[in-house]
Amino acid sequence: MKKTLSFLITGFSLFSFAQQVISPEAVIGIWKLKEAGFYENNKKVKKDFDACRLQRHYIIKADGTAIYNYYEGSIGDCYKSDPRETYWKISDGKLVFFIGNEIYQEEKIINFTPKSMIFNSIPLDASNEKDPRIAKILQTIHYENLEKISEEQLQQQLLH
């Protein structure tokens, strides 16, 4: 009985691990920000983003390139920054945006379905930082909850 139970637990663990593998094809598309925030004292703190900042989105292409469109401000005073164009890859459960050897953004995918993706930032090394406030910022884990949408849906949701 003990061996059977151990076998079942191991089997379910391997099955769960296998489901976490994300194919690059599944990530291709337009991913629009639905919610963002950070963790403080192990609690999720949602940022109060209005429709302006919620326009932020990634366009992840089959050719290995990606475009990140960043919006800042608020309704009535909303502006779009220059698009950030990079290459992308999935590596060890992380979505990595890079050019050459330089990584621009690396996010740990913590939840993925064909229509939604949640990722967390990876804390930066703050061991050499003397300012405790800056060290805290470097170590803060941020999250983004993204939804996969069509080009038509994106155009309908963008503020004009």
Give pTM, 2 decimals: 0.83
**Nearest C-alpha neighbor of 154 from the set 56, 21, 27, 50:** 56
Instruction: Tell me: pLDDT of 14 over 90.
Output: no
CA distance 82 to 133: 29
Alpha-helical (H) ranges within 20-158 are 24-27, 132-139, 151-157
Instruction: Tell me: pLDDT of 11 over 90.
Output: no
CATH number for 125: 2.40.128.280
CA distance 96 to 121: 11
Q: What angle (nearest 5°) sits at the alpha carbon of residue 73, between those of residues 69 and 78?
A: 70
Instruction: Tell me: pLDDT of 34 over 80.
Output: yes
Which helix (H) or strand (E) is 87 found in, with range?
strand 84-91
- Block residue for tokens 């992840």: 60
Instruction: Tell me: pLDDT of 27 over 90.
Output: yes
Which helix (H) or strand (E) is 39 found in, with range?
strand 29-40
Give per-residue pLDDT as tens, 58-111: 999 999 999 999 999 999 999 999 999 999 999 999 999 999 999 999 999 999
Domain that holds residue 26: 2-157
CA distance 46 to 31: 19
- Block residue for tokens 């050019």: 99
Q: Quick one: pLDDT at residue 20? A: 64
For the chain, the domain total comes to 1
Q: Quick one: pLDDT at residue 21? A: 86
Tokens in use for 122?
Answer: 């990876």
Give per-residue pLDDT as tens, 136-159: 999 999 999 999 999 999 999 887
